[in-house]
Structure 1
Amino acid sequence: MPPFHANSPNPAPDKPNVVFVVYPGIVLLDLVGPLHVFSRACEGDTGDLAYNTHVASIAGGPVPTNTIVQIDTVPLAGLRDGVKVAKIDTLVVVGGDGARVAETDTRLVREIGELSKSVRRTCSICCGAFVLAQARLLDGRRAVTHWEDCSQLADRFPNVQVEEDPIFIKDGSIWTSAGITAGIDMALALVREDLGAAPAFHLARSLVTPMIRSAGQSQFSSDLARQTRDAEGEFAPLHDWLRGNLAHSISVSDMAERCSMSSRSFSRRYAASVGLTPANSLEKMRVDAARNLLIETTLSFKIIAKACGFRDQEKMRRAFHRHLRTSPSSYQSMFRED
C-alpha cells in the first residue's frame, strides 16, 4: 500500500503551521484524529481553513503505523531550518508503542527540544509524553498520558507531576493528552483557544463527538468504567434500572432487592465486581446524567438536580466537586455553545 500523504499541498503563508511528529509504530488514530481537527478548522464564517498541517519524521519519507497504512512525511530537520515551514506554531508529538524506541533516538529528542524553543506550544498525544519527558520539556510540569502508562511515566521521570485522571493538561506552553481519542479532545481545546468556541463545537459535531470533555474528568466515562470492571455483566440489569430511575430515592437496600441479595452480600459483591461502592456508583450516574442535561438542555439547575435525584442544587454542586472538581455552573459555561 502506498503511503498516505497528510501534508498541506499548498501551505498558506499567513496561517499557523501545525506539525505532527511521527516515528515507526505510532497509533494511527493518535495522528489522524487531531490531524482532522486542525485540517478542517475554519476561521469565522468565511470557510477559510485556519491552519497549515504537516507531518514530519526524523528522516522523512514513509513511516509505518500500527496498521497497514503508512504515512508520508517530511524531514524534521528541514522544518527547523525553515526549508518547508517558515515558522512552526504548534508542535505535536504523536503516541504509539513506537514511543519506547523513539525516546531513545537522541537525534529525534534533540530536534524536538530545539524546535520547542521557538514554537508557541508543544504538545503530546498519549505516550508521546515519554518523548517530551526525555527532552526534559515536562520537568516541573503537570502532565498526563495513557492511563496504562501513567505509573511508568511517573517512575521513570520523577521531575514530572504525572496525573492519571485528566483527558488533557495545559501547563504553560506545554500540552499533554491521555490515550488515543483524548488527542481529539486536546486538539479541539487548542482550536477553541485560538478561534473561539463556535469552530470547536462545529468540529465536535462533525466528528460525532458528544461534547468536548473537560480536562478534569476521568479518561473513562462512568458507564464504560462500570462495564469494564463488571466484565461478566452481572450488574448490567441493575445499571439499566438505575439509569431509568435516577429521579427517585434509591437506597442500597433497593439495589440489593433488585439483585435478590441481602444488603450486606450485595454491597460486598458489587464493590468486588465494579470497584465502587453502590452509593458511589449511583452518584456517578447522577452526575453523568446532570452533565448531559446541563449541556443539552436549558432546564434550570433546580429542575436538573431533582431530575437526577440530587433533591436540591447544593447536593448536586457537592457531587460535581467530588467527581469533576468543578461546579455545575462552571461545567455548563465551559461546554455550552451559547
Structure 2
Amino acid sequence: MRDIGFVVFPGFQVMGFAATSVFEVANLVACDALYRIRLLSEAGGLVATSAGFAVQTEAFGDTPFDTVIVGTGMHPAPSSAGMLHFIRNSVQTTRRVAAPCIGAFILAEAGVLDGRRATTHWAVARDLQNRYPLLRIDEDRIYIKDGNVWTSAGMSAGVDLALAMVEDDYGAELTRMVARNMVLYHRRAGGQSQFSALLELDPKSDRIQTAVDFAKKNLRSTLSVEELADVARLSPRQFSRTFRLETGQSPAKAVEHLRAEAARLLMEQGRLSMDAIANETGFSDRERMRRAFLRVFGQPPQAVRRNARIGELAS
C-alpha cells in the first residue's frame, strides 16, 4: 500500500480534495488497497477550509510517505517555518512531492523548485516566476514532473496530476478505468494547454451556442458566416451582429481560434504530420495554419510541437 500525505493549512481551498478521489476510486476499481490517504497539518487537529468547515488532521511527524501532496490556498501567502521544514524533508525522504495550483508557491518558498521546471494556475504564473527566478515556470501546462517534484495548473488540473500518478504507479489501463468511473471525458496530458477557446467564447444564447458547437464538430467545412447563420436560424447580418455582442469576437476570428486549438491538441498528441493536421482542422495548408498560430498563440506550430515533446519527455 502506498501512503499519501495530503498537507493542509488554515484556509486551504476545498477543490484540492478532488485529487484524493482519484486514489480512492483506484482502490475501488482495483478491488485492492493500493493507496491510503492521510490528512496532515503542522499542529494536527481540526483545520478550517476556505469554505468554513473543518477537517481532522494528524500532525507532521517522522512517518514515511510514498507521496506528499501540498494543498492549495485561495491566494499565495507566506508559509510557516514548520511547513517549510516538512516540505524540504519530504523531498529527501518520499518518492515524490506534488503541489497543484498555488501550492507551487509553498514548494518554491521551501527552495525545492530551484532549477526545476514547474507550472501553476495561469493567473499567478508570472508572479511565481518573478518571486522565485531560479525556477523555470511554464504557465501553459496542465502538469509538469521534474524529477520527484510534480506541479499542476489550477483547480481541476489536480485531478489530471493524480491520474498521471496512478498511471505512473499501475499503468494506463487502470487509469482509464478510474477516469471512466469518475465520469471524466478524458485525462488531459501534462503538455496540454490550460487555455480553451470555447471557454473564452461563452455565448449567451442557445442559437449562438448551437453555431459554436456546429463549428467545433465541422472544422473541415468552410464555416462561412452564411453557413453558421443558417445553423443558428438567423440572417447572416443578424447572426454576425449577435455573435459579436455575445462573444466579443467576429465569427471568422472565433472559427480561427477553434481551428487553432484543435490543431494544437493534435500537435501535442504527436501522431499526425503538420500537413495532415492543417487539412484535418480546416486550414487547408500549412502556411495558413502557421499564420493563424502566430495570431492566436504568438508562436509557430513547430514551436508548439517542440514544447509539447519537451514537456512529455520531462514528465
TM-score by length of 2: 0.76
- Kindly indicate whether residue 32 of structure 2 is the aligned counterpart of residue 52 of structure 1: no
- Kindly indicate whether residue 16 of structure 2 is the aligned counterpart of residue 30 of structure 1: yes
CA shift, 1:166, in A, is 0.5
Please show how residues 100-179 of structure 1 align to structure 2 within 5 Å.
Answer: 100=77, 103-179=78-154
Name the structure 2 match of 1:9: none
Is the contact between residue 201 and residue 254 of structure 2 (CA under 8 Å) also seen in structure 1?
no
Q: 1:246 aligns with which of 219, 226, 251?
A: 219
CA distance in 2, matches of 1:241, 1:266: 17
- Kindly indicate whether residue 70 of structure 2 is the aligned counterpart of residue 93 of structure 1: yes
Q: 2:26 aligns with which of 11, 19, 41?
A: 41
Secondary structure of the residue that 1:18 maps to in structure 2? strand
CA shift, 1:282, in A, is 3.7
Report Cα offsets for 1:76-110 as digits up to 9, x if no partner: 1x2xx23xxxx21111101012651xx33122111
- Pair 1:286–1:75, CA change in 2 (3 A): closer
Is the contact between residue 219 and residue 259 of structure 2 (CA under 8 Å) also seen in structure 1?
no
Structure 2, unaligned stretches of length 5 or more? 270-274, 294-299, 310-315
Report Cα offsets for 1:158-186 as digits up to 9, x if no partner: 11211111111111111001111100000
CA shift, 1:188, in A, is 0.2
Report Cα offsets for 1:170-224 as digits up to 9, x if no partner: 1111100111110000000001001000111111111111111011222233312
Structure 1, unaligned stretches of length 5 or more? 1-14, 295-301, 331-338
Secondary structure of the residue that 1:41 maps to in structure 2? helix
CA distance in 2, matches of 1:323, 1:74: 49
Q: CA RMSD in A?
A: 4.3
- Pair 1:323–1:304, CA change in 2 (3 A): closer
Q: 2:156 aligns with which of 149, 156, 181?
A: 181
CA shift, 1:323, in A, is 9.5
Secondary structure of the residue that 1:158 maps to in structure 2? coil
CA distance in 2, matches of 1:127, 1:289: 25
Secondary structure of the residue that 2:180 maps to in structure 1? helix
Is the contact between residue 286 and residue 310 of structure 1 (CA under 8 Å) also seen in structure 2?
no
Name the structure 1 match of 2:297: none
Name the structure 1 match of 2:257: 281
- Pair 1:242–1:288, CA change in 2 (3 A): farther
Report Cα offsets for 1:216-244 as digits up to 9, x if no partner: 222233312322xx679996464244235
Name the structure 2 match of 1:63: 47
CA distance in 2, matches of 1:206, 1:46: 12
Name the structure 1 match of 2:301: 322
Is the contact between residue 185 and residue 213 of structure 1 (CA under 8 Å) also seen in structure 2?
yes
CA distance in 1, matches of 2:53, 2:140: 31
Secondary structure of the residue that 2:193 maps to in structure 1? coil
- Pair 1:140–1:232, CA change in 2 (3 A): farther
Name the structure 1 match of 2:174: 199
CA distance in 2, matches of 1:49, 1:190: 16
Matching residue's letter, 1:66: S
In the alignment of these two chains, the number of paired residues is 293
- Pair 1:240–1:149, CA change in 2 (3 A): same
CA distance in 2, matches of 1:250, 1:139: 47
- Kindly indicate whether residue 12 of structure 2 is the aligned counterpart of residue 16 of structure 1: no
CA shift, 1:250, in A, is 3.5
Matching residue's letter, 2:45: G
CA distance in 2, matches of 1:272, 1:75: 50
CA distance in 1, matches of 2:153, 2:302: 18
Q: Percent identity?
A: 33
CA shift, 1:155, in A, is 1.3
Name the structure 1 match of 2:313: none
